[in-house]
Structure 1
Amino acid sequence: MTDMMEAERQRASDWFRQLRDEIVAAFEALEDELDVGPGGDRAPGRFDVSETRRRGSDDEDAGGGLMSVMRGGRVFEKVGVNVSTVHGRLGERAQAAMAARGIPGMDEDPRFWASGISLVAHMQNPHVPAVHMNTRMFWTPRAWWFGGGADLNPCIEYPEDTRHFHATLKAACDAHDAEYYPRFKAWADEYFFIPHRGRARGVGGIFYDDLNTGDWEADFAFTQDVGRAFLPAFLPLVRRRAAIAAFEADREAQLVHRGLYAEYNLVYDRGTKFGLESGHDANAVLMSLPPLAKWI
């Protein structure tokens, strides 16, 4: 496979940054709008933004990104929206993991380039679901692919919220291929499962990886539509649940559920493992962890 054109990589990187900016603005607007619920008496939250860097060998420039984290807001107890574009050479463990997935040429040329956005939100009100979303592009000299998805993680499930979230993601998938939603929903159900607990970490969504149909434009367009679907899938749920009274038992359920989320991300999540093994900023990689959690 020939080298990917620099212009295409730049387009993907620019898009992930644009999506990050839109989501950050929408979340801060939500903080201004919703002065209700457990955090309603607080000042509207704002994101703290810092640059991140990947550690390359011999202090080479290996790229980086922006880590944007809001803590203690009216609506969001903690939310992170990270974007990065990194490059370099994969270590042996990362090469082996890629080779095991069928990525060609990793033993011949370990160079890589990757760009993406990653978001995790933990909410003030236990009735508002936690949520995760990410989209990314990965390139090696022999291959390129897209990946991503979104999944909903309520501690108190409302079936109509689950239906809305899935229906919005399904519409994004169906605009490209009628087989995408059932395939990627099943992949999410399998991927976001916690084996040692024997249960899913939430109510699912979609997950895909290694997407390369041979048509870069089509795969990029699909990944963009997955990213665009996130706010319409999630914001109505926040507005619907933010004012519901929350009691001590609700908070207890939320903290215990967050424990499940932390276990999954630390033990099984592919992105967490790759980020730490490839030398990316540890704080950015671990921003997905909740501010408070509980185990029983």
Structure 2
Amino acid sequence: MGEEFQSEKARASAWFRELRDRIVAAFEALETSHAEGPLNDRPAGRFDVTETTRASEDGSDAGGGLMSVMRGGRVFEKVGVNVSTVYGTLGEAAQASMMARKGLSGMAEDPRFWASGISLVAHMQNPRAPAVHMNTRMFWTPHAWWFGGGSDLNPCIEYAEDTAHFHAVQEAHLAPHGAELYPRLKDWADEYFYIPHRGRARGVGGIFMDDRCTGDWEADFALTQDIGRAFLPAYVPLVEKRRVQDWSDADKDTQLVHRGLYAEYNLVYDRGTKFGLATGHDANAVLMSLPPMAKWV
């Protein structure tokens, strides 16, 4: 599990950056093309891009990435698209968690890790346009490697046809990897994106996987790429359809309350948030997923 993975790491990191570039361009195009409907008289939103860094315990460079955030646009109230590649050694708590979750031996003797991925969360101006989350990632240690990620739709006002479209596109992209895969990843998302203390899901689901390591790196990487490729065709048509619709104060209130659920999940349960903060990554990048405004009743 050693240096022979340098090529694979480089390819994965480059893919996540390529996917980031595609999504940023597509989202800025949505802002530019919003010529009709609410808030169309505003300037088109653009991403502010900031380099992020992760410092190791001794202060040496341990990787970083790009945090791209758009605020106050015509279509997006706040959207972040982060990409990073970080490395170093896992602390004792992270080692213990890794051994408990994955049954890995030898972490204490060689706690090195490398991780790369893309993470996206979009919160919309129009309450009728759904919020969304997507991430894909690769993780490596000298003892094992794996992929993870997926995407899920988080509308505050649900439309059955939107949910059906989002799931159908993902199912089509996963079909080349086996007919049994989509139902399994759909069920996994339903389980993972559940808020126990509220007794409900945070949205209408999607797909999710973690610890994906069949032993065939090429096949698992191809699956991860197709999860990423499914995102824009699954999501952009929904935004194009809903961004032009009028909304009421009651609709906005519904949106803010739903965002409270999203914030609760990300701060209490989300595994990526916990890992990012525990391993010293840029806190602003880790917490980028939080909505600009939310409400609790």
Question: How does the TM-score come out when normalised to structure 1?
Answer: 0.98
Q: Does 1:148 align with 2:149?
A: yes
> Paired residue for 2:168?
167
1:261 and 2:280 equivalent?
no
Q: Following the alignment from structure 2 to structure 1, what is the Cα–Cα distance between the partners of residues 52 and 148?
A: 22
What is the DSSP-based 3-state SS (H/G/I as helix, E as strand, rest coil) of the residue aligned with 1:45?
coil
Name the amino acid aligned to 2:47.
Answer: F
| Cα offset, 1:37, TM superposition | 3.4
The question of whether the paired residues in 2 share the 8 Å contact of 1:151 and 1:204 is answered with yes
Distance in 2, matches of 1:99 and 1:24, equals 36
CA distance in 2, matches of 1:173, 1:151: 15
Higher deviation after alignment, 27-36 or 246-255: 27-36
Q: Tell me, yes or no, if the aligned pair for 1:3 and 1:142 is still in contact at 8 Å.
A: no
1:74 to 2:74 alignment? yes
How far off its partner does 1:198 sit? 0.4
Distance change (3 Å), C-alpha of 1:4 and 1:290: farther
- Please give the alpha-carbon distance, in whole angstroms, between the structure 1 residues aligned to 2:47 and 2:167: 28
Q: Could you give the per-residue CA deviations for residues 11-69 of structure 1, whole angstroms, max 9, x where no partner exists?
A: 00000000000100010011000133332221000000000001212111100000000
TM-superposition CA deviations, 1:125-153 (whole Å, max 9, x none) = 00000000000000000100000100000
| RMSD, matched Cα | 1.0
Partner of 1:126: 127
Q: Which runs of 4+ in 1 moved over 4 A?
A: 1-4
Counterpart in the other structure of 1:107: 108
CA distance in 1, matches of 2:258, 2:37: 20
- Residue deviations 1:81-130, cap 9 Å, x none? 00000000111221122112115132332100000000000000000000
Matched, 1:214 2:215: yes
Distance 1:254 1:36 in 2: 22
Aligned pairs, number:
296
Q: Which structure 2 residue ranges, 5 or more long, are not aligned?
A: none
Q: What's 1:199 paired with?
A: 200
Structure 1: runs of 5+ lacking an equivalent: none
Deviation at 1:78, TM superposition (A): 0.2
The answer on whether the counterparts of 1:37 and 1:246 sit within 8 Å (CA) in structure 2 is no
Query: TM-score under structure 2 normalisation?
Result: 0.98
SS in 2 for 1:244: coil
Alignment partners' CA distance in 1, 2:47 and 2:112 = 33
Please state whether the residue corresponding to 1:144 is helix, strand or coil. Answer: strand
The secondary structure found in structure 2 opposite 1:41 is: coil
Q: Secondary structure at the match of 1:132?
A: strand
CA offset at residue 206 of structure 1? Answer: 0.5
SS in 1 for 2:293: coil
Describe the superposition over 1:165-188 as per-residue Cα deviations: whole angstroms up to 9, x where unpaired. Answer: 001111111111211111111111
* 1:225 aligns to 2:226 (yes or no): yes
Residue of structure 2 equivalent to 1:53: 53
Shift of 1:5: 2.0
CA contact (8 A) 1:37 1:125 kept: no
Deviation at 1:265, TM superposition (A): 0.2
AA at the equivalent of 1:171: A
